[in-house]
Amino acid sequence: MVLRQTLAQTTMKAVIILGAGQGKRMKSSVPKVLHKIAGKPMLQWVIDAVKILSADQIITVVSPELKNHEILKGTDVVVQEVPLGTGDALKFASQKLKSNINKVFLFCADTPLLNQKDIKNLEHSKADLTVIGMKLEDLKKSYGRIECNNKGYPIAIKETKHNEKIKNIPTANAGVYVFNAKMLQALLPKLKTNPESREFYATDLVELAVKNGHTTELIFADEENFLGVNTLVELAQAETIMQRRLKTEHMLNGVQFLLPETSYVNHDAEIGTGTIIEQSVHIGENVHIAENAKILGFSYLSNCTIESSANIGPFAHLRGNVVVEENASIGNFVEVKGSIIEKNAKAKHLSYIGDAIVGEGANIGAGTITCNYNGFEKFKTQIGKNAMVGVNTTLIAPISIGEGAYIAAGSVITEDVSANSLGITRTQQQEKNEWATTFRAKYSKKLS
């Protein structure tokens, strides 16, 4: 019992996430850390990644405009009014540390590609200060460099923007650290501003730790996992990497992407085994696709559920709480919004289905439109089981088409149609003999 209590006391962990930078290089009105990767803000990716540590405390350092943002719920928020570097942010955060914390993990909010295996490796470090390093293939990159002694232990981190010569060092700083909490509290007051930038750098803590007799450790990890996003170019690079990761995971689970590099998948997409995703498909937020579905090229899906063996597309657009049930088909240039398409129903061509229930086995002809909005309110359309709606038909909601009913092509339907009936609104066709000949002769004379 005494042993268990001792172990518990040595593993009280805090995570500090630095996210107060202004992000001027993004040239965007959106705060840098709220820019999204695969539909999730960068800061949220970091918060989610560090959950593997089961930390006793998570502290987020943010700018004033983010202090009340919902993304920070569950964290202790520290506002850095004027950003004066990572060291300054760390000073503010350390004041918020709980008294029983003895291990502090430091991450940056603009690194959305963190790998939980790397984070877990940090948990096993024994040194007073541990830093993650990356082996660079391109020495021209501007990452800070980690200087080590002849035993391979870090002794300093130098920023390349202040010393170009250190770019020859192949070990780059990933910006992730683990500190002994007491050591951190003792060293932070000793940080000095950089004479050129007039900012406090957390990187200087390595050299301070060594000078004060503390132990250090270096853990290596892949450079890709620590890509820092400071520009929209880097945001696009991070998106490309995340998309590759997400689609690789789906493919390993039995989802076939015909041209994976052309499609987009949101982070929360659920896709069942045996489903085929063709080229240039956009799978947005809150999309659930069951087994053996087929999503044809250039389709756009968001907030929808696709049940097993359903076919979608090509060029289909589903949005706003759509359900497409088993074996149903939504074809080319069909938009579906806020509707349920029941089993075996079909809408194959050039239609808009909004706020409707299309019954099992019903067939929606090309050019059909459910008119659901009068400029003030939206209304429902109910289409019964096995109904047949002819081409170029307009259904004015609210309206109900009974089971097995037929709607004649070219009709504008404004009243309910009962089961197994024919709904038709057409004027009688007329034919005027030789009308075209007379018409052409008239205009030929006029234009001559």
Q: Hey, which residues are catalytic here? A: 349
Pairing of strands 57-62, 76-79: parallel
CA distance 447 to 182: 96
CB 381 within 8 A of CB 369: no
CA distance 230 to 239: 13
Distances (CA, A) of 123 to 120, 138, 188, 206, 423: 5, 29, 22, 18, 71
Give the torsion sign (CA, 165, 170, 175, 179). negative
Classify each residue of 11-43 as buried b or exposed e, where b means 16 or more C-beta atoms within 10 Å of its C-beta. Answer: ebbbbbbbbbbebeebeeeebbbbbbbbbbbbb
CA distance 200 to 197: 9
CA distance 368 to 347: 9
Map tokens 């439109």 to a residue.
369
CA distance 255 to 253: 6
Pairing of strands 145-148, 154-158: antiparallel
Tokens found for residue 243: 């998309």
CB 122 within 8 A of CB 52: no
Q: How many CB atoms lie within 10 A of CB 290?
A: 20
